[in-house]
Amino acid sequence: MAIKTQPVTVNLGPQHPSTHGVFRMRVMFDGEEIVDVEPVFGYLHRGSEKLAEERTYTQIVTLTDRMDYVSSMLNNQAYILAVEKLAGIEPSPRGVWLRMIAAELQRIASHLVATGFLIQDLGALGTPLIYAMREREGILDLFEMLCGARITNSYLRPGGVFMDAPDEFWPALDRGLDDIVRTIDELETYLSGNEIIFSRTKGTAVLPPELLINASITGPMLRASGVDWDLRHRAPYDYYDKISFERKLHTASDNYARYWVRIQEARESVKIIKQCIEQIEPGPVRPSFDEVPRLIRPPAGDAYAAIEGSKGELGFYLVSDGSIAPYRMHVRASSLINLTLLRDMLIGGQFGDLFVTFGSVDLNMGEVDR
């Protein structure tokens, strides 16, 4: 028997507990099935790219912190790489190792946040989220030792980092890595085999790899579909060519695969940090001010540098006119580009899966709107 039904349009967000900030969606649903989705964003637009045109190259580091505020070290790294490329700066080896350690710690923190919020979106009342956030606090404590700040770090400078790690950082880092491994084991024990989580995430929002590539989606979302694409391996930046790590792939390309890839990548990051600790050598953490002055005046031209961020390819495109501020800065924001296929993921799905799928993209509104 065919039931005659009428689709209903509902506005979700920007004030909604699960929109990961201030995302807004106009959702049309028929019963529990989603018929149409119209994403609306821009509620957190702060004009970072325009502001960068008024600031010196060192000052812009603080702007990048505030883009994807759960992975500020990675933003710093991508921006600094672009500046170094633009101005032809040769970084100090110790600074590079330190920023790789910071970046990988940040990647773990970001993946923990993503996993915690995914389970939160699944309807758990905060417990897994708080367990994930507790471990992230430990990582933020390490950042506090490194640079005095926890979230908006501004730790990196053109040519390295602004300050060497204190002596007590290294034993704390060893303990922190053990804690991280233990937490990931714990999360995997309770989450990966959980029937409710598995039944709700398996086979939902499946995207074929061809579609993902056509939409230029990168990061864990892409690797969850079996595409072996990791910039740390394909186009090594910093000293990633001196590091061996495994690229974790899943084939299902559904919400569970995305969750699984993130958890496994956090494990791999721990291994990368351990290799960095082995290879780091004493020395200056950044070139002297004679080599790299505070006011950098890159020659006129442009440069693009990209890193494998926690959410995908994070790139900075800088145009210089020879002055102390960039003529133009553009960010290839992985959060924004990963949202491209939101409609393909949501339409035809269940209303209950809407925010789970949304959360599995792992977007950050600070980066989407910039």
Partner 1 sequence: MNQAFLDNSLWRNIYCVLAGDSAQCAAREYSPGMLPGGMEWLAFLLAAAAIVGLFVNGVLGGVIVLIWGERRLFGRFQSRTGPNRWGPFGTLTSVADAIKTMFKEDLVPAEADRILFNLAPILVAAPALMVFSVIPFGVGTYVADLNVGVLFIMAITSLTTLSVLTASWSSANRIAILSALRSVALLISYEIPMALAVVGVVMLAGSMSLGDIIQAQGVPFILVQPLGFFVFFLAAMAEMARAPFDLTEAESELAAGYLNDYASMKFGLFFLAEFMAEISTSAIITTLFLSGWRGFDFIPSHLWFGAKLIAVLFVIIWFRMTLPRLRIDQVLKFAWKGLFELTMINIVVTAILIAIWPQPTTTQLWYMVAINWPVAIVSIWGVSKLLGTPPYEQTQPDPNAPTYPVGSEEIPASSAYVAEVNKQASLQEGGD
- The whole-angstrom separation of Cα 159 and Cα 116 is 34
Q: Which is nearer to partner 1, 97 or 237 (CB)?
A: 237
Q: How many Cβ atoms from other residues are within 10 Å of residue 50's Cβ?
A: 11
Q: How many residues lie near partner 1 (CB under 8 A)? A: 59
* Interface segment toward partner 1; rule CB under 8 A; list 47-55, 63-71, 145-153, 209-217: 209-217
Q: What is the sign of the dihedral through the CA atoms of 334, 82, 326 and 70?
A: positive
Among 104, 121, 367, 369, binds partner 1 (CB under 8 A): 121
For the bound state, the minimum distance from the C-beta of residue 33 to partner 1, rounded and expressed in Å, comes to 10
Q: Which is nearer to partner 1, 18 or 62 (CB)?
A: 18
Interaction with partner 1 in 308-327: which residues (CB under 8 A)? Answer: 317, 319, 321-323, 327
Q: CA angle at residue 62 from 177 to 274, to 5 degrees?
A: 20
Q: What is the 3-state secondary structure (H, E, C) of 4-25?
A: CCCCEEEEECCCCCCCCCCCEE
* Interface segment toward partner 1; rule CB under 8 A; list 42-50, 176-184, 219-227, 269-277: 219-227
Among 69, 239, 304, 344, binds partner 1 (CB under 8 A): 304
Q: How far is CA 214 from the centre of its chain?
A: 21
> What would the x/- binding string for partner 1 be over residues 178 to 207, using CB under 8 A?
----------------xxxxxxx-x-----
- The whole-angstrom separation of Cα 182 and Cα 184 is 5
Q: What is the 3-state secondary structure (H, E, C) of 179-211?
A: HHHHHHHHHHHHHHCCHHHHHHHCCCCCCCHHH
Among 102, 227, 273, 361, binds partner 1 (CB under 8 A): 227
Q: Which is nearer to partner 1, 240 or 355 (CB)?
A: 355
> What would the x/- binding string for partner 1 be over residues 348 to 367, using CB under 8 A?
--xxxxxx------------
DSSP, collapsed to helix, strand or coil, labels residue 217 as coil
For the bound state, the minimum distance from the C-beta of residue 171 to partner 1, rounded and expressed in Å, comes to 24
DSSP, collapsed to helix, strand or coil, labels residue 307 as strand
Residue that the structure tokens 């039931």 belong to: 3
What the block records as the tokens of 218 is 């990168």
Residue that the structure tokens 């791999």 belong to: 268
Among 124, 145, 277, 347, binds partner 1 (CB under 8 A): 124
- The whole-angstrom separation of Cα 292 and Cα 149 is 24
Contact residues for partner 1 (CB under 8 A)? Answer: 8-10, 16-18, 29, 32, 119-127, 130-131, 134, 194-200, 202, 209-210, 213, 225-229, 234-235, 249-252, 300-304, 317, 319, 321-323, 327, 350-355
